[in-house]
Structure 1
Amino acid sequence: MSKRAYGTLLLAFMLAATAALAGCGGGDSDKKLIRIGEVTRSLFYAPQYVAIEKGFFEEEGLKIELTTTPGGDKTMTALLSNVIDVALVGSETSIYVYQQGADDPVINFAQLTQTDGTFLVAREKIDNFDWNSLKGSVFLGQRVGGMPQMAGEFAMKKNGIDPHHDLELIQNVDFANIPAAFSSGTGDYVQLFEPTASIFEKEGRGHVVASFGTESGHLPYTVFMTKESFIKKNKKDVQAFTNAVYKAQNWVAAHSADEIADVVLPYFENVDRDILVSSIDRYKQQGSFATDPIVDEAEWNNLIDVITSAGELDKRPEHGVLVNTEFAKEAIAAVKQ
């Protein structure tokens, strides 16, 4: 989401509390309710679903309501308007809110993914892909100002490709419609998340030729965040939440893609199990799932470099302004592996 869009955030969208409710963790009525808004439903967020399904939130005295709030703008609006308590979204959204001069800044407190989660998919099979193949092509990209697009452009520039001059870049297709647009013939290349990338390969509609996650390096790509005021009033609950996330991260690191697929299957009922396994394995192999909740300074600075390269940053926020590592560090010290 572009920083410009946040100026009209609260007027643009008011989320109904009942919309797209999914994946509630069980638990007794005496458990603290935490409402999570995830920016999309994705295998990229497998550790979150593991935390719910394996009962890690319940162990920490929490009951979870999980709502899918499609898009960074809608997710952040839901958070700022108190429809949800915690947002699972890209860290760039907290930066855009900060740049608007928010009195109650959004704080990143527990990292879930540490790389970009998209893959470069070509319409035709390419045995020995070279980034120069993108020159003169039609590229079906992601939304301006969103992390997928910014990380994609960062990776292209790293490989000597100017995404705004060396190819025809299409960015006027809504996120949810990008796969269908590519299937219908738009573009020579497209940027896709899993499991869509694997589904396209299986059905012969496209072929994965590169990973934007590998190319753009470690960064706080998807993070649990909340308002500073919520943290001040609910420190115990934020700590419990972070503990549960870390338990799930340990579990994911210790188990196979096959075992993880069995746990997250209820969240992807319309996806073949073999696709779930291959998608999760692809993310595990490239180290996309964070192994602990800490948003460290090196990752943050890489994120800032990516956003700066995309021309979406007015001023460079320091790590300590929008990141709180206190809960992550305490979780690492308290949770037995």
Structure 2
Amino acid sequence: MANISRRSALTVIAASGAALATRRAGAQAMAGRAIYPVAVPVYQTQFIADRIGYFKEAGLDCKLLQGGSGVKTREIIASSQGDIGIGDVTHPMQLTNHGRAARVLLPVDTRSNSVMFIIRKDLKDQGINSLEAFTQWKRPDGRKPIVSVSSLGGTNHVWSSYYMETMGLDDKVTWIGTGNVDTMLGALKSKQVDILVSSLSLLTDAQKNGWGELLFDGTDEAIWNKHIGGKVPVTGHFTLQATIDKDPAKMQAYVTALWRAAQWIKAHKADEVYDAIEPYVGSTSRESNMLEIASIQKVADYDGRVDAASFARGEKVWFREMTGIKPLKIADVINSTLIEAARKAYPG
């Protein structure tokens, strides 16, 4: 019997799921679009729901589209060009504050895995070994050092800026958005930016290529607990309330598929997850992605619920001058109805 690689086996599994779904849904499959910001593993629940066939089994003919950043993903959802997005939970809060009521449907983590401060290697080699020392350094033209995030107002920016605020350093740097994986790493490589705030996969590639080194790890549990205080929903799937109202059955299908994807991830090893999502995260190496997937498993939310205590911890980060978000109640942010129905249909 011929040997079959794990990747081939996963492809067969996905194809089988798709075939089954086609028989179930037939011509009644609901067309849809799921939006993810950039090509990194933190958005893996959407990737798994697509690759393993859960979207199709739920009766969805779903296309995954890359938004380019968290803010752009939010704009796509706001314009109803996408059914469901994934990103920082402040995105639906921003929409609600601006008259487009939106809801988090399914949180995917309990702390951020993408607030690693990656400093240019040449600056680290000069002896800059803390954020305080970094903010005292000036660029050759005398300007403040530049900190890059994927997008201003996105996950990296929201949480890294909070760390800097608590240290009294936020006004001593210039923040810029540099987009997707390739452009973020390119900006660090070319020294257009001095620190890149991102995740473990980008740190690993930056170190391997001699472009950057870790300066401050905001994903570390001890550091997170010191500044944040414990579990907080950071990233989640979200949509407009109007989209739920328009087609609740369709949105239930999304949430059910994504819940199943989260449970699949929980039951599989990092290499199996990587083999499934590789087509979506090919901009960084297998080694880098494997390390990041393993780190995500440590912070993942496999329960799908947001309690009052975790919401309260997040309030000091979400509702401040930097974000411009006016305070909201948990009921104004979280829709728990769809995830509870998914949990009943497919107990974790």
| Alignment TM-score, normalising by the size of structure 1 | 0.80
Summarize the alignment of residues 228-239 of structure 1 with structure 2, pairs less than 5 Å apart.
228-239=241-252
Work out the number of aligned pairs and report it. Answer: 307
Cα distance per residue 1:36-74 (max 9 Å; x no partner): 121222211122211211112222222211111123443
1:170 aligns to 2:174 (yes or no): yes
Match of 1:123 among 104, 117, 120: 120
CA distance in 2, matches of 1:174, 1:128: 23
Paired residue for 2:156?
Answer: 148
Cross-structure match for 2:75: 77
Secondary structure of the residue that 2:191 maps to in structure 1? coil
> Is the counterpart of residue 179 in structure 1 residue 185 in structure 2?
yes
- Supply the distance in 1 between the matched residues of 2:104 and 2:202 (Cα, whole angstroms): 28
The answer to whether the Cα contact below 8 Å between 1:140 and 1:182 also exists between their aligned partners in 2 is no
Against the structure 1 CA distance between its residues 209 and 164, is the aligned structure 2 distance closer, same or farther, given a 3 Å change threshold?
A: same
| Cα distance, 1:318 vs structure 2 | 0.6
Q: Which residue of 2 aligns with 1:10?
A: none
- Give me the whole-angstrom Cα distance separating, in 2, the residues matched to 1:185 and 1:71: 21
Tell me if structure 2 keeps the 8 A contact 1:43–1:194. Answer: no
Determine if contact 1:51/1:248 at 8 Å carries over to the other structure.
Answer: yes
Q: CA deviation at 1:270?
A: 4.3
For residues 72 and 45 of structure 1, what CA distance do their matches in structure 2 show? Answer: 11
Q: How does 1:1-337 map to 2 (within 5 A)?
A: 26=18, 27-28=21-22, 29-102=27-100, 105-116=101-112, 117-124=114-121, 131-137=131-137, 138-142=145-149, 143-158=151-166, 160-165=167-172, 169-176=173-180, 177-214=183-220, 215=224, 216=228, 218-285=231-298, 287=299, 289-337=300-348
Letter in 2 for 1:58: K
Question: Do the aligned residues in 2 keep the contact of 1:91 with 1:222 (CA within 8 Å)?
Answer: yes
Counterpart residue type for residue 164 of structure 1: D
Instruction: Specify which structure has the higher proportion of helix.
Output: 2
Higher-Rg structure is 2
- In 2, are the aligned partners of 1:36 and 1:67 still within 8 Å (CA)? yes
Q: SS state of the match for residue 87, structure 1? A: strand
The answer (yes or no) to whether the contact 2:152–2:177 under 8 Å persists in 1 is no
Identical residues among aligned pairs (%): 19
> How many angstroms apart in 2 are the aligned matches of 1:206 and 1:83?
37
Question: TM-score when scaled to structure 2?
Answer: 0.78
Confirm or deny: 8 A CA contact 2:232 2:311 kept in the other structure. yes
Give the Cα separation in 2 of the matches to 1:334 and 1:272. 37
Q: 1:267 to 1:187 in 2, by over 3 A?
A: closer
Deviation at 1:99, TM superposition (A): 1.8
> How many Å apart are 1:275 and its aligned residue?
2.2
SS in 1 for 2:326: coil
3-state SS of paired residue (2:171): coil
Specify the alignment match of 1:14 in structure 2.
none
Rounded to whole Å, the distance in 1 between the matches of 2:29 and 2:208 is 43
CA contact (8 A) 1:258 1:277 kept: yes
Alpha-carbon displacement from aligned partner over 1:243-279 (angstroms, at most 9, x marks no partner): 2212211221222111111111121334332222122
Partner secondary structure for residue 50 of structure 1? helix
Alignment check: 8 A CA contact 1:79 1:87 kept: yes
Amino acid paired to 1:182: L
Structure 1 residue runs without a partner (length 5+): 1-22
Q: What is the letter of the counterpart of residue 319 of structure 1?
A: I
RMSD: 2.8
1:65 partner amino acid: K
3-state SS of 2:116 partner = strand
| Cα distance change of structure 1 residues 211 and 304 upon mapping to structure 2, 3 Å threshold | same
Take 1:212 and 1:79, find their aligned partners in 2: how far apart are those partners?
29
Distance across 1 between alignment mates of 2:250 and 2:66: 21
Q: 1:94 to 1:336 in 2, by over 3 A?
A: closer
How far is 1:227 from its partner?
A: 1.7
Output the CA distance in 1 between the equivalents of 2:31 and 2:343: 23
What are the ranges of 5 or more consecutive residues in structure 2 without an aligned counterpart? Answer: 1-13, 138-144
